[in-house]
Amino acid sequence: MRALKWLAITVLAIALASVMVVVAVVGSERVETNRAQSALDPFYMPPSPLPTEPGTVIRMEPLGVNVPGASAYRILYVSQLPDGTPAASGGMLFIPDAPAPAEGRPVVAWAHGTLGMGDACVPSRSANPLQDTDNWLDQMMSLGWVVVSTDYVGLGTPGPSLYLIAQSEMRDVVNAVRAARSVPEAHAGSRYVTWGHSQGGHSSVWTGHLGETYAPELTLLGVAAAAPALNLPEIMSAQWDTVAGWVIGPDVLESWPVYYPDLPIAGVVSKAGQNAATRLVGECIKQSGIEGLLRQTAGEHFFETNPLTIGQWTAAIKDQTPPPLPASMPVFIAQGTTDEVVLPWPQAMIEDAWCKAGSAIDVLWMGGIGHMAAATTAGPSAVEWIADRFAGRPALRTCDVPPPVAPVAPSN
């Protein structure tokens, strides 16, 4: 018995020591992250007053990453809020080393997915700025395209952040293209294609609707998206009471009442959700996901009820859901069949509805691919599709190929 007692004590001591090591490592990483972000703060602090011309590059510096055959830069540029007020956004600019053609280089505007609203989550400020670019960024550099990526206003810069608000996202994407064109060494032309993942797919597709009117001096040739958040009513109805609510909910709560000031919060977002939101919104998606999983397992829910049951929320969600694109605006959508965030069946509903509406839609269904791997898996196909747009080839429609999942909510 004494031996068993000492064995139990030894095991407990080892377990406690392991926990202390993990806590120490996490604490050390946080200190290092805070130190790195503090060093970057001056770059991201916009001047006052801001320049008023959208696309003006305020400052630019090497990004400090290796992209074969290209130069990579961190940029701070002028975008706009939906009401036209100038606002600063960070971003990244990738310029091929090869000589530019006389007409200027084609431009790809990359829009990243949901990463969290903390400064360290923002691509141009993060320790891994090239996340989600495997399998396509190097190819685009070899093809001589300029790639410009927005961080979005309010992420890493003074806010407000307007997450999944099309009228803000579109401006950040388009003004990033304008910023690229204002950098002499980029030799960026006026023709561009958008390419985004998840939230960025929402941004990309909405640019297809709004970009031409907003920036008539640019020529948008098509929009591409991996696992785009398009069918917001169905996604929200399916995900509001899951861990995804804890990951996406704080960003929505931070942003949507700014654009829709009459949105009710009480009775929609739980007390636990309201209390945790301000802190969670500053965490990166991995950390908020872990906490959300623990809270959900413990019986806590971010939303108290499905927002689609509340009239003001229903109107806002439908307002941010893009209608079918016109046949004149080619669209490429890549979707994984095992996506646990942007679920496959709402995307199948989009494909069905947009095909019936006559959209020039090309859908790539990726078997066994989840949400996080969607952009990197679809990357080579997206590059090929974008190359066809720049070459002026006719856009393909895949409407004669049925999706591998039914365009209906699964029965429980």
Q: CATH number for the domain including 202? A: 3.40.50.1820
Count of H-run helices and E-run strands, the chain: 11, 9
Q: How confident is the model at residue 34 (pLDDT cuts 50, 70, 90)?
A: confident
CB hemisphere CA count around 158 (13 angstroms): 11
Q: Specify the higher pLDDT residue, 28 or 237.
A: 237
Q: Does any domain span residue 397?
A: no
Hey, which residues does 188 pair with through a beta bridge? Answer: 105
Residue 262 sits in which domain range?
233-317
Q: Give the per-residue pLDDT at 28.
A: 46
CA–CA separation, 224 and 362 (whole Å): 9
Q: How confident is the model at residue 3 (pLDDT cuts 50, 70, 90)?
A: very low
Tell me the pLDDT tens digit for each residue of 244-294: 999 999 999 999 999 999 999 999 999 999 999 999 999 999 999 999 999
Q: How confident is the model at residue 17 (pLDDT cuts 50, 70, 90)?
A: very low
Q: How many domains does the chain have?
A: 2
Alpha carbon 202 to its chain's center: 8
Task: For residue 382, give both structure tokens.
Answer: 């997206």
Q: Does any domain span residue 96?
A: yes
Among 287, 317, 347, the domain boundary falls at 317
The yes-or-no verdict on residue 221 having pLDDT over 70 is yes
Name the 3-class secondary structure at 108: strand
Q: Give the per-residue pLDDT at 30.
A: 62
Q: Does any domain span residue 138?
A: yes
Q: Does any domain span residue 1?
A: no
CA distances, 326 to each of 130, 173, 330, 354, 359 (Å): 32, 20, 8, 9, 5
CA–CA separation, 19 and 8 (whole Å): 17
Q: How confident is the model at residue 31 (pLDDT cuts 50, 70, 90)?
A: confident
Q: Residues 171-176: what's their mean pLDDT?
A: 98
pTM of the full structure: 0.91
| Among the listed residues 385, 313, 378, the one whose alpha carbon sits nearest the alpha carbon of residue 342 | 378
Together in a domain, 292 and 213: no
For residue 129, say if its preceding peptide bond is cis, omega within 30 degrees of 0: no
The yes-or-no verdict on residue 21 having pLDDT over 60 is no
Tell me the pLDDT tens digit for each residue of 379-400: 999 999 999 999 999 999 999 9
Q: Give the per-residue pLDDT at 223.
A: 98
Q: Residues 325-348: what's their mean pLDDT?
A: 98
Residue by residue, DSSP assigns 159-195 as S---TT-HHHHHHHHHHHHHHHHHSGGG-EEEEEEEE
